[in-house]
């Protein structure tokens, strides 16, 4: 594997995206999750109307999002797959309105090459594939052709049958294979971020193992993005419904940061922005400039 890539050391072409972090400091990045879908598990239908989604995109950026991640197909268990054409029909009005007006990078949350290609042509700079380029291998080539940054998510069949002690070795093998495939497709090593796929085909116990042992994934040498926002395992621990899982989400995400995560994907941007600022202030024993009296 290559030496550790960094979200914060962009290569000449723009690093992990002219996107994930050109000219950023070494702080943890905050990716906001915007679902332009009628059926996502936690906010399905809330932002399906393009006008409402556009307003929410601008609100997330105002609240402190470093990256705007937008998706047009739900990945919740039991959700129906849709075509790339339908996915793009949901996304195009938002992409057209938001991309010219924002200064932060936009990520496209999709596993389809056609959707990724269209979004990248429109101006997105990151491809976030929860299936880690296994559902549509052409997506890696589309990302490479555009010089995009990539988030390689972990999601495999039959994970729930894997003994908890084996989940990390299996994930590490998966990431090694998919990184090799990404490099072969022409994606630069410094443009690759790994996502352990919290909640994607995994049991609650497996999610806890992954968060506890996150440093083993970080040791592969790539930045790691964690998205535990409002996930079912938090509900099973706390007994709370998806929209009431903010406290549990913050706890899971701050543990992920403590264990090496370089970026967090969340629905509740303002709360995460504050939590990350406080955590960094404690870690560095330094008050943020604007907070100094």
Active site residues per annotation: 231, 265
For the chain, the farthest-separated pair of C-alpha atoms sits apart, in whole angstroms, at: 55
Query: If you search the block for the tokens 């399906």, which residue do you land on?
Result: 48
Helices (H), 1-111: 50-62, 84-98
Angle formed at CA 272 by CA 281 and CA 49, multiple of 5 degrees: 155
- Show the tokens assigned to 156: 């495999």
H or E element in which residue 195 lies: strand 192-195
Nearest-angstrom CA–CA distance, 145 and 147: 6
Judging by beta carbons within 10 Å of its beta carbon (0-12, 13-18, 19+), is residue 19 exposed, middle or buried?
buried
Which residues, listed in sequence order, are joined to residue 106 by a DSSP beta bridge? Answer: 68
User: How wide is the angle at C-alpha 29 spanned by C-alphas 19 and 134, nearest 5°?
Assistant: 65
Residue 131 DSSP SS3: coil
DSSP for residue 11? -
Q: What span, in angstroms and rounded, lies between the C-alpha atoms of 214 and 224?
A: 9
Which residues pair with residue 264 across a beta bridge?
30, 226
For residue 170, count CB atoms less than 10 angstroms from its CB and return exposed for 0-12, middle for 13-18, buried for 19 or more: middle
């Amino acid at each position: 594997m290559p030496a550790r890539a960094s979200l914060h050391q962009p290569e000449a072409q723009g690093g992990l995206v002219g996107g994930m972090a050109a000219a950023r400091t070494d702080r943890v990045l905050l990716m906001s999750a915007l679902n332009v879908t009628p059926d996502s598990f936690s906010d399905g239908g809330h932002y399906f109307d393009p006008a409402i989604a556009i307003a929410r995109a601008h609100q997330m950026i105002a609240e402190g999002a470093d990256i705007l991640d937008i998706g047009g197909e739900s990945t919740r268990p039991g959700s129906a797959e849709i075509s790339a054409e339908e996915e793009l029909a949901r996304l195009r009005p938002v992409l057209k309105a938001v991309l010219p007006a924002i200064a932060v990078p936009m990520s496209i949350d999709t596993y389809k090459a056609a959707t990724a290609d269209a979004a990248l042509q429109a101006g997105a700079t990151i491809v976030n594939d929860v299936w880690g380029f296994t559902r549509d291998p052409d997506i890696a080539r589309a990302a490479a052709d555009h010089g995009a940054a990539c988030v390689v998510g972990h999601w495999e069949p039959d994970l729930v049958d894997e003994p908890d002690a084996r989940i990390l070795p299996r994930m590490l093998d998966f990431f090694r294979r998919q990184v090799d495939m990404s490099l072969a497709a022409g994606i630069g090593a410094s443009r690759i971020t790994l996502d352990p796929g919290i909640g994607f085909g995994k049991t609650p116990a497996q999610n806890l193992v992954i968060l506890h042992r996150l440093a083993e994934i970080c040791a592969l040498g790539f930045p790691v993005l964690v998205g535990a926002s409002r996930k079912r395992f938090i509900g099973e621990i706390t007994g709370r419904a998806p929209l009431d899982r903010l406290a549990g989400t913050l706890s899971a995400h701050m543990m992920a940061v403590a264990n090496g995560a370089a970026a967090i994907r969340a629905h509740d941007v303002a709360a995460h922005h504050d939590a990350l600022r406080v955590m960094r202030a404690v870690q560095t024993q330094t008050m943020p400039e604007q907070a100094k009296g």
